[in-house]
């Protein structure tokens, strides 16, 4: 009888190996051959599940998306309103070695969205669009002068926080030694104070 293959499990293994290669040797070193060697498999084995380097990137980011969703849900817990918005923003602006590897992958993907990279780009775009939606939903709970801010003001708040987090993610890859979590979180608290918890804004 033929051996049953758990495709999801194989794709997860390939995603982990892709991240490991990128962490140890840089994103440019991510190739079908390098990932195959990492798994002690043939290149043909890898292409049976992931047909190209671009698909390797998409697969790694797709698996990261599920991990991010679970981690975000655990971090936010039962928080609501502006407390949830602030907590989401703080969570977005934290780092780990694996996070920075994944950021390097998505930066490479958005630099070239042509051809096979389009699939990887769509994964990244789906994650970032969904994140912006969460910022906007949280911003709609901000209260100023005793009244909820209007939709235009909420959109401005969401834009600023979202762009701050995205800018941080680039700097975390470009210059992680200078842009430490401590530095970023300190400036973020100033920003949250002005936009969400400022003198003219009530919790």
Q: Reply yes or no on whether the pLDDT at 199 is more than 60.
A: no
**Region 10-30: what's the mean pLDDT?**
94
Q: Quick one: pLDDT band at residue 121, thresholds 50, 70, 90?
A: confident
Q: Is 148 helix (H, G, I), strand (E, B) or coil?
A: strand
Sequence length of the chain is: 203
CA 2, CA 20: separation in Å to the nearest integer? 31
Q: What is the pLDDT of residues 59-97, one digit of tens each?
A: 999 999 888 889 999 999 999 999 999 999 999 999 888
Q: Given this model, what pLDDT does residue 120 score? A: 81
C-alpha 122/C-alpha 139 separation (Å) is 26
* pLDDT tier, 202 (very low <50, low <70, confident <90, very high otherwise): very low
pLDDT above 50 (res 200): no
Least confident stretch, 105-114, 147-156, 164-173, 186-195: 105-114
- The whole-number pLDDT of residue 4 equals 53
Per-residue confidence band for 33, with pLDDT thresholds at 50, 70 and 90: very high
Q: What is the mean pLDDT of the chain?
A: 88
144 vs 35, more confident:
35
> For residue 150, is it left (φ>0), alpha (ψ between -120 and 50) or beta?
beta
Average pLDDT over residues 178-193: 94
Residues 6+ positions from 3 with CB-CB distance below 8 Å: none
Determine the 3-state secondary structure of 70 from DSSP: helix
User: CA-based angle 77:73:188, to the nearest 5?
Assistant: 80
Confidence of residue 1 (pLDDT cuts 50, 70, 90): very low
The full set of domains in the chain, from first to last, is: 54-202 (1.10.357)
* Residue 29 clears pLDDT 80, i.e. is over it: yes
């Amino acid at each position: 009888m033929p051996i049953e293959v758990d495709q999801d499990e194989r794709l997860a293994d390939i995603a982990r190996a892709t991240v490991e290669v990128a962490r140890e040797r840089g994103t440019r070193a991510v190739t079908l051959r390098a990932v195959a060697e990492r798994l002690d498999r043939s290149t043909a084995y890898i292409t049976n599940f992931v047909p190209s380097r671009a698909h390797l990137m998409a697969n790694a980011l797709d698996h990261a998306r599920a991990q991010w969703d679970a981690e975000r849900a655990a971090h936010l817990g039962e928080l609501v309103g502006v407390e949830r918005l602030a907590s989401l923003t703080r969570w977005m602006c934290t780092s780990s070695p694996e996070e920075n590897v994944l950021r390097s992958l998505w930066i490479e993907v958005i630099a070239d969205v042509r051809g096979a990279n389009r699939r990887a780009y769509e994964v990244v775009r789906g994650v970032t669009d969904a994140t912006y939606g969460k910022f906007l939903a949280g911003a709609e709970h901000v209260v100023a002068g005793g009244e909820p801010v209007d939709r235009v003001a909420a959109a401005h708040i969401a834009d600023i926080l979202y762009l701050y987090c995205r800018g941080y993610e680039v700097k975390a890859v470009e210059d992680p030694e200078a842009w430490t979590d401590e530095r970023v979180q300190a400036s973020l608290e100033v920003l949250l104070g002005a936009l969400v918890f400022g003198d003219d804004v009530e919790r």
